[in-house]
Amino acid sequence: MADSEFKLLFGRRSLVLGSGSPRRVALLTDMGISFTQIIPNVEEKLRPREEPFSYAQRLAKTKARWVIQRADPQQIVLGCDTIVVLDGLILGKPSNEREAYETLTTLSGRQHVVCTAAALADGVGLMTSGYETTKVYFNDVSREQIEEYIASGEPMDKAGAYGIQGMGAFLVDRIEGNLDNVIGLPRDLLNKLAERVNRIS
C-alpha cells in the first residue's frame, strides 16, 4: 500500500518519532520521511484484566502524549508499541539470557500474534490511534540454534526475544499479515491514521 496519506501529512507537518527503536528509525528513513526523535520514559505495566491489544494501544497513546509535552506543540508525535502475544499472554523483552531462552523455547513450533499499536498526537491532544496484528508461525528450532542465536545478542532488546528482519529470520516459517507490522512500524496502519488527520486538519 502506498504511503501517500502519511507522506502528505508529514510534507506539511513536522514529525517526532516517540520511540528509541532503530528498526522504526530505519523504516521511516526508507519511507523518505524527515523526523526528529524523542525517546519516551513511561511505565509499561499491564493493568488488571487489561486485554493485550488494548494495552499496546494505551502505551502507544501514553508515549505520544509524554513526548508531545516535550516537543513543539505544532509538531505531530508518533507513539508506538509492539507486543508479542501467545495464548493471550504478552511475551515482553527478555531481561536476561535465561528469559530469552525460555521465551524462544516456548515459541518454537507454535503460532503467535505480533501487535503493533500507533498513536498520533500534537499540542492540542491525541489525534488518533489504532493497532495492527500479524500471525507468526515459528519453525521447530533446536536448543543449539536458540543458544547460538542468544549468543549473538540480538534477542535482548526485542519483544518476544527475536528480530524477524535480522538473524532471527531463521526462526520463522511463515506469517499471515504484514511484515512491517512485525518489525514494528505498520505502514498500512500509519496511512490510515494519517488519512484521518488529513481529513480534519
Q: Which residues are catalytic?
A: 81
Q: What pairs with residue 83 in β-bridges?
A: 115
Cβ contacts of 180 within 8 Å, gap of 6 or more: 27, 186, 187
| Cβ(167)–Cβ(112) below 8 Å | no
Is the sign of the CA dihedral 15, 16, 18, 23 positive or negative?
A: positive
Cell 519453525 belongs to residue? 139
Tell me how many helices (H) and strands (E) the chain has: 7, 7
